[in-house]
Each structure stands twice: as C-alpha cells, then as structure tokens.
Amino acid sequence: MKKTLRTLCAFACALGSLAQTQIDLRTQGKDVDFSGASATKPIQTGSSLPSACNVGQLFFLTTAQAGQNVYACPSSGMWIPISATGGGAVTSVSGKTGNVILQASDLADCRLVLSSSTVLSFNACPYSYPDLPLQNLPAGSITILSGSGTIYVYATIGGAIDVLESGNLSIGCTGCTDAGPGNAFPPDVAQIGIWASTVTPGAWDPSGVADARTLVNGPPQLVSSTGVAIALNSLGQKSIGIDSAVVETRSAEQAGQEVLCTAIGTSSAQTCSLLPTLTAYTTGMRIRLLSAATNVGASALNIDGLGAKSVLRSDGVTPLVPGDLATGNYYDLIYDGTSFRLPSAATGTVSYGVTVVSADTTYTSTATPANVAGISYSLAASTQYNFQCSLTGNGLSGGLTFTPTYTGTVTSAAYSEYYISPTGTGITQAGGAYYTDLSGHANVIDTRSSAILIWNMSGSVTTNSAGTWTIQASQYAATSPGAVLHGNASWCRLTKTP
C-alpha cells in the first residue's frame, strides 16, 4: 500500500512539472501555421522606441505617422524606419507631408517666378536634347523695361535660354538672350513658359503665366500630319504610323500601282489617271504607261487633266518613230520639265526618227516657180545615215519637182529615187537610179494637172562635213493654181549608224 501511494505521488509531481513547461517555437516548432489564429502580433509594439535593440529586431511605433510605423535595428542600439535610406525617414515631398499630390509649383527646375512687378526670375535646371550631352541651364531673370505684350521663354538646342516678345515689349535679360520679336515658340525647342504683361505698359501680369514645361504638361500630343497617321492600339494608347495614302509602302512599290498610267485615246493623243491623283508635273517624275494605241508619228500624253505633253525619244528632241509606242505594251516615261522622254527609244540607233509634214502646203502663184515646204534634217560631220522618204503631192497645173539638196559635203552616198502614180497612168518609174551625193537631182514627176504623185527615195550616205539636208518640193511651171504637198502622206525616216 505504501508503495502504491509513493508511485501516485511521483506521477502527480510529474504532471505538475509538465504543466509549467513553455514550447520554444524557434527550436521546437515545425511548419507553424498561424492562418487560423484570430490575430497575431509578430513584432513588438509601443509608443516609444526602446533605448536598446539587437540586430534584426523590429518594432512597431504606434505614435509615428501612418505608413512610417515600422522600425528595424540594423546594428546594436540603432533604430531606423524600414522605408528610409541613408539613415533618415522621408518626412515630406516638395515640402508636403501625408498624401502628396505634386503641383506645377513643386517642379522648381526652370520655373518662371514673379519676383516683382517688373522682374521674372527662373531657376537653374539640367537640360538635355536628343543626341547631345546633359547641360546645366543657369538661373536668370527677365525685366520688363517698357511696353506691353507677351514673352515666350524656351531652351535652345545649344543649351541657352532665349526669349521672344510680342507687341511692343522691351525687355532686359540676365542669364538669357533677347531673341527679338515673335508670337509663338520656334520649332525644336524646349518650351519653358509664356508670360503676359498687364494692360498698363511696364509691368508683368501676376496671373498672366502659362507654364509650358514638359514635366508639367506631359509630352507633346501626337497629331497627324503629311505622311504621318496616328492610331490607337487595343489599350487606347496613341502610336505613330505612316499614311499609306501619302507614303509609299514596300508592298505598294512592288505592286507598282502608284505610277501606273493605263491610257485611253488615239495614236497621237493618249490620256490617263494616277492614284492618288497627280497634282502637277515635276521634273524627273517617272510613270509607267500602258499604251492604248500604236503611234504612227508624233504622240502626246495628258495625265489627270494637267495638259498634253509631247512624248519624245530619249534625247528629248527627236519625235517618236512609228511603232515606238505599241498598243498593250508598257513603257517607262520620264518627264524632263517640258515633255515626256521614252528611254527605251535609245538614241544612236535612231537619232532623228520620222518627220511628217503636218499640213498640206499649196503654192498658187503664177510668177516664177517657188518651193513648196518640204522636210529638213541637220546632219553631223563624219557620220553615216540611212534614210527612207515618201512625199505625195498634186501638180494642180504644171506638175511638181522633188529635189534633194545638202549644204555640206559627203564622203560617199548610195541611194535611189523613183516616182509612181497610184493610178499607174502616164508615169515613168525611175527605180534603180543610184546617186553618189545628196543634191542636185531634180526630177520632174509629172506635168499634167491634177495628177496624184508619189516620190520615194532610200539609201545611205556618209557625210564629210556637217550641213542641212532638205527634200524640197517645187512647182514645175509658173501656172495657177500651182502645186500642193500633202501633209497626211509625206514623211521621211532618218537613222544614224552608231
């Protein structure tokens, strides 16, 4: 019995000892979860900081400003707010505490301030411009001397502060430059501010300021301009793009539509329109012509109603040879300020092309026979030419004579001339008659009145000296009504051997 009592007593003593034991969570706890607790206080709390602390200790100061209550102990005996750097707390921003909202007046850099009724001062500030190093703009002042108006204060690319003034203001600058009269900011400058004078000359208006600094007003607004388009993305933000109606894109260039000129018209006059509409012919402009017709002589092109311009060979002088433009073919043309040139019609192979008498020329005098207008070419020295001519006329009475003449000399020539009548009556053909120069072979075609005559000439010649070669028609006899050269059927083609 005594032994049982001793055992119960020992057990009771052990239970009492166990009830007094406290668990050390630092060494005895594992994966402690306080999420179910009604409240926790992880750090010490008080109305004043303890006089001593250990490294890593935290303290919640209940008397501090909200948001600045938590302090840490980085070294023994030293408390700092955990939001501070350099050992001190942030107590204000631009002199404000609590919930801070910056105002324009808080941004002191380059700010214009009314120092007196006649003096504006501005603070110094750092300043940078794209691709240029950071600069420091000095402080200064602007004094109104006389007059009234408005000033425009800005920083230049070079890092100086300039002032423009409108009205009849006269100002004095310290730390700035009076840039003269003006009523707006120049382009590509950093705007600082605008200030107006009072109605009474000689004083600044205390309420006449407009702060133009970028930090105050935000970046410049994006606006559309020539070739530039502003678009909104899915977030409603503005972005810059190109206006494809003005600026050619790679895909549009590959498509070739901007310069495509799909023409309509006749062999001598074609028209077309470009997209967008062409507003003016400019020297050097290129277009791609889809020809609507095959030319038989001179041809002109009119784009978007700007006026018909001649289409010439690549030298800008020589008319087109028949067939230089063909129906359904594409041609690149270049405008030279006066006419369109066709580079594919190269000079060298054909330097003169076809010349056509444009209108009937009639001689009706009964006096001494005179020339009816013919066709002329200027030939260079020491050059070989090939030619083919066909002139049609009527000897209304007394007949016609066709005469080739050359004012220079030739080294060699080999050509034939012949004449025929479409009716085939009463005409002697002179085919196979070759000559060794270019002039002096007057040929009486027909002396009968009203005979329709065709005179042909073909061959080649090498010139010795430069001169003018003319195929001239003349009246055979002094009779009336005379003779006529038909413009609709009279032509010559002259080519030059490269």
What are the chain's domains?
44-83 (no CATH), 107-217 (no CATH), 256-342 (no CATH), 353-496 (2.60.120)
Among candidates 402, 393, 390, which has minimal Cα distance to 483?
393
C-alpha 30/C-alpha 255 separation (Å) is 74
- Residue 81 Cα distances to 46, 60, 466, angstroms: 14, 10, 103
391 phi-psi bin (left φ>0, alpha ψ -120 to 50, beta other): beta
Among candidates 266, 258, 283, 277, which has minimal Cα distance to 341?
283
Beta 119-122 vs 451-463: how paired, if at all? unpaired
- Residue 71 Cα distances to 46, 233, 254, 330, angstroms: 11, 45, 68, 84
Beta 78-81 vs 483-485: how paired, if at all? unpaired
Q: Which two tokens stand for residue 11?
A: 């057990």
Q: Which two tokens stand for residue 183?
A: 């009523």
Please name the residues in contact with 369: beta carbons below 8 A apart, sequence gap of 6 or more: 363, 398, 474, 475, 476, 477, 478
Q: Which two tokens stand for residue 244?
A: 């494809």
C-alpha 136/C-alpha 175 separation (Å) is 12
List the pLDDT tens digit at each of the 498 positions of the chain.
555 545 555 555 555 555 556 666 656 667 777 777 777 778 889 998 898 899 989 999 888 877 788 989 988 888 888 864 444 445 555 555 555 555 545 566 778 888 899 999 988 887 766 666 777 788 899 999 999 999 999 988 777 899 999 999 999 999 999 999 999 888 878 888 899 998 788 899 988 888 877 654 444 555 556 667 777 666 556 667 777 767 777 777 777 778 899 999 998 999 999 988 999 999 999 999 999 988 877 899 999 999 999 999 888 888 887 778 888 889 999 999 999 999 865 443 334 555 666 667 776 666 667 777 778 888 888 888 888 888 888 777 767 777 788 888 888 888 777 777 655 444 444 544 567 777 766 666 666 666 677 888 888 888 888 888 888 777 777 777 777 888 777 888 877 765
Give percent helix, percent strand, percent coil of the chain, each to the nearest 5: 10, 40, 50
Q: Which residue has the tokens 């603070």?
A: 123
Q: What angle do CA 118, 119, 122 make, to 5 degrees?
A: 155
437 near 464, Cβ under 8 Å?
A: no
